[in-house]
Chain A
Amino acid sequence: MKQPKQVYTLFIRSTPKKTWDAITKPEFTRQYWGNLANVSDWKKGSKWEHMTKENEAWIVGKVTESAPPNRLVLTWADPDKLKDESRVTFEIEPVEDMVCLTVTHDNFKTGSDMAEKVGAGWPKVLSSLKTFLETGKGLNIFCKAS
């Protein structure tokens, strides 16, 4: 069976440094990523956590590559199912007065439901990230069809 692979590319009027900071600094992630924070020292081999304000980790993993402000590779797992690990790659390229951000979520374990869980999430989070960087205010990523 073909392993699922999710790739989402978008263009943001911003700089690589600002985009990197928006992905890696809790005070920024909270503003567009549903009030959750990405916490780590972002060094290769370090752990990282995607946490609520109450310090509850929703996603955990390790930093496997870190080349600020252009490339960040993480492992990604539910803390209750650590063996069900996948991989997320952020690539940030400058283009004219913008950045091209490509997020690839792949290396899903056979039988994992993680691909399905994050499938609708990445377009929401990354749309919100773009809005946050361009206008200063992120979107509500928990929005439902009205």
Chain B
Amino acid sequence: MKNEKLEFVYATYIRTTPEKLWEALTNGDFSVKYWMGFRFQADLRVGGKMNIFPPEGMEHLGDHAGEVLVCEPNRKLVYTWNQADKDKPEVTKKRQGLSQVTYEITPMGQQVRLRLIHENLLPEDVEKDPTTFKGINNGWPAVISSLKSLLENGVALDFGMKGCGTKA
């Protein structure tokens, strides 16, 4: 099981248009609303810089600095995502290159499918404890659920600082 590579795939169906979904995914003024305050910023062309700036007080989470690999407006965005910036050194050593995120947008009648693929991950990126938003497997469903709410009813989800399953 040495150097086991993982990917996380998550599909969502949203009552919206490809244009609105693209805007919500790529515009930082939208992302701060549904992505727990994180600001997505990308120069939307191949080779352009990509950062996901954390909100104040969460700078230790890093900005995932990467680069745009594919940019087909309203259809597909692929970018690299630096997962190592918040790693322990022994985990960083195991990484082979940056991880990679793909958004695929497919119109389906009155709704749109968003397919998210996050690849070149390590087992350390997956969090077994569901009572937290840590881990790719807990974080993405929260972010995408919130994005869907924002697009469908105008209000993103408010996660506070608690995690899935955390007893109040």
Report how far A134 CA is from B155 CA in the complex, Å.
10
Question: Considering the complex, which residues of chain A in the window 96-114 have a beta carbon less than 8 Å from any beta carbon of chain B?
Answer: 96-98, 100, 102
Inside 8 A of B144's CB, which chain A residues have their CB? 10
Inside 8 A of A11's CB, which chain B residues have their CB? 141-142, 145-146, 157, 159, 164
**Does A130 make an interface contact (CB < 8 A)?**
yes
- A145 adjacent to B158 (CB under 8 Å): no
Report how far A8 CA is from B146 CA in the complex, Å.
15
- B157 adjacent to A13 (CB under 8 Å): yes
**Which are the 7 A-B pairs with shortest beta-carbon distances?**
A11-B145, A127-B13, A100-B164, A143-B108, A123-B11, A9-B141, A93-B165
Interface core residue of A12, A93, A95, A128 (most chain B CB under 10 Å): A95
**Does A139 make an interface contact (CB < 8 A)?**
yes
**Does B12 make an interface contact (CB < 8 A)?**
yes
Inside 8 A of A93's CB, which chain B residues have their CB? 164-165
- B152 adjacent to A135 (CB under 8 Å): yes
Inside 8 A of A52's CB, which chain B residues have their CB? none
**Does A47 make an interface contact (CB < 8 A)?**
no
Query: Which of B12, B153, B157 is close to A127, meaning CB atoms less than 8 Å apart?
Result: B12
Report how far A124 CA is from B144 CA in the complex, Å.
14
Q: A8-B141, A140-B110 are in contact. List 11 more A-B contacts (CB 8 A).
A: A7-B137, A8-B10, A9-B138, A13-B149, A13-B157, A93-B164, A98-B157, A124-B13, A130-B149, A134-B152, A144-B109
Interface core residue of B110, B164, B165 (most chain A CB under 10 Å): B164
The interface bits of chain A over 87-98 (1 if a CB of B lies within 8 angstroms of the residue's CB, else 0) are: 000000111111
A146 and B108 contact, Cβ closer than 8 Å, known pairs A10-B141, A124-B13, A127-B14: yes
**Does A131 make an interface contact (CB < 8 A)?**
yes
A interface with B by C-beta (< 8 Å): 7-13, 93-98, 100, 102, 120, 123-124, 127-128, 130-131, 134-135, 139-141, 143-146
Inside 8 A of A10's CB, which chain B residues have their CB? 12, 141, 144-145
- A140 adjacent to B111 (CB under 8 Å): yes
Distance in angstroms from B40 CB to nearest chain A CB is 19
- B108 adjacent to A96 (CB under 8 Å): no
- A135 adjacent to B13 (CB under 8 Å): no
Interface core residue of B12, B106, B159 (most chain A CB under 10 Å): B12
Inside 8 A of A128's CB, which chain B residues have their CB? 13
Query: Which of A120, A135, A143 is close to B111, meaning CB atoms less than 8 Å apart?
Result: A143
Report how far A135 CA is from B163 CA in the complex, Å.
24
- B15 adjacent to A131 (CB under 8 Å): yes
Inside 8 A of B11's CB, which chain A residues have their CB? 120, 123
